[in-house]
Amino acid sequence: MLNIVTCFKWVIDEAYIKVGASRELDLEWADYKLSDYDRNAIEEAMRIADIEGGTVTAVTVGSSDATKGIKDALSRGPEKAIFINDPAFTDLEPSQTASLLAEVIASRLQYDLIICGEGSSDLYAQQVGPRLAELLDIPCIAFVSKLDIKERQVIAERKMEDGIEVVTAPLPALVTVLPDINSPRIPGLKDTLGAAKKSVISIGKEELTGMAKPHLETTAIEAATMERHCIKFNPDAEGIKQFVDALLKEGVMG
């Protein structure tokens, strides 16, 4: 029997972000969604719990805008959720999110395995998982594309640039998962209706020791732009030479 914790983030759905004339982001019509890789994390938690037995608790940090996210997460199988909820908990940087998660998980949950998505759909800093493991002083395995539990050991395949690395770690441990690890379920109608009846424990700022100061300051957020040029080359030897020179000049080829 394993106590599995899975962390998730309720993020702006990038499909709804509009870019203004001066590259500012227009979030007026933005809708939110469960961060993509966190769906994989929840699915993996459910898969392991199905095989090994145990309970799955979903944990998130956010403001009360995230209540829909809690229902979304619970509709994917976890038995209960912990909502670290305060108006101040928006736009946190990863170190702050990790410290809040660590305090709550360490003080209120028994855990054998913590599963996080590799990175969030919005910032993709890939920091919350490793920082959380560090604060809890447990092993962390990142870039996981396959996960098994055997005799209280995590056996994980890590997808590296030059191949697959297989590593093991004793429980308790934290893994961050890639989207290759599984296909997240699409909650059925009764899953969504049932989610509203599951237990959600809300923890406010006043119940916590305090939030660390941010290490980073966000000065501006602008849409990335991709420079495009339209240059025509003749289909002859001279044209090809000019084409190669142009690629070299742009740094596309070196």
Partner 1 sequence: MDFKLTEEQELIRANMREFARQYVDPIAVEIDENSRYPAEVMAKLAEGDWMGMPYPQEYGGAGVDYVTYACVIEELSRSCAATGFTLSCHTGLASGPIYYFGTETQKQKYLAPLCKGQHIGAFALTEPGAGTDVGAGSTTAVLDGDEYVLNGTKTFTSNGPVADTFVIFAVTDKAAGTKGMSAFIVSKDTPGLKVGEHFMKMGIRASQTSEIILHDCRVPKENLLGKEGQGFRIAMQTLDNGRIGVAAQAVGIAQAALDESISYSKQRIQFGKPISKNQAIQWMLADMATDIAAARFLTYYAAYLKDQGQPYSKEASMAKLFAAEMASRHTSKAVQIHGGYGYVKGQKVERLMRDAKITEIYEGTSEAQRMVIAGSILR
Positions that interact with partner 1 (CB under 8 A):
33, 67-68, 71-72, 75, 186-193, 195-196
Residue whose CB is less far from partner 1, 87 or 188 = 188
Q: How far is the CB of 29 from partner 1 (least distance, A)?
A: 13
Least distance to partner 1 from the beta carbon of 40, Å? Answer: 14
Give me the least distance between CB of 142 and partner 1, in Å please. Answer: 27
In the complex, the smallest distance separating the C-beta of residue 13 from partner 1, rounded to whole angstroms, is: 9
**Crossing angle, helix 94-108 and helix 128-136, to 10 degrees?**
40
Bridge partners, residue 18, by sequence? 26
* Cβ-based nearer residue to partner 1, 193 or 240: 193
User: In this complex, which beta carbon is closest to partner 1, that of residue 127 or of residue 192?
Assistant: 192
Least Å from the CB of residue 16 to partner 1: 12
Q: How far is the CB of 242 from partner 1 (least distance, A)?
A: 24
SS3 per residue for 26-89? ECCCCCEEECHHHHHHHHHHHHHHHHHCEEEEEEEEECHHHHHHHHHHHCCCCCEEEEEECCCC
Asked whether 181 and 6 are in contact (CB, 8 A), the reply is: no
Q: Which is nearer to partner 1, 69 or 119 (CB)?
A: 69
Cα 47 from Cα 66, distance rounded (Å): 25
| Closer by beta carbon to partner 1, 84 or else 195 | 195
- Of 196 and 221, which has the nearer Cβ to partner 1? 196
Nearer to partner 1, 167 or 193 (CB): 193
Q: Which long-range contacts (CB under 8 A, 24 or more apart) does 181-189 make?
A: 181/40, 181/43, 181/44, 181/144, 181/145, 181/146, 181/147, 182/40, 182/43, 182/44, 182/47, 183/43, 184/39, 184/40, 184/42, 184/43, 184/76, 185/43, 185/46, 185/76, 185/77, 187/72, 187/75, 187/76
Structure tokens that stand for 193 in this block: 């209706």
What's the min distance (Å) between Cβ of 190 and partner 1?
Answer: 4
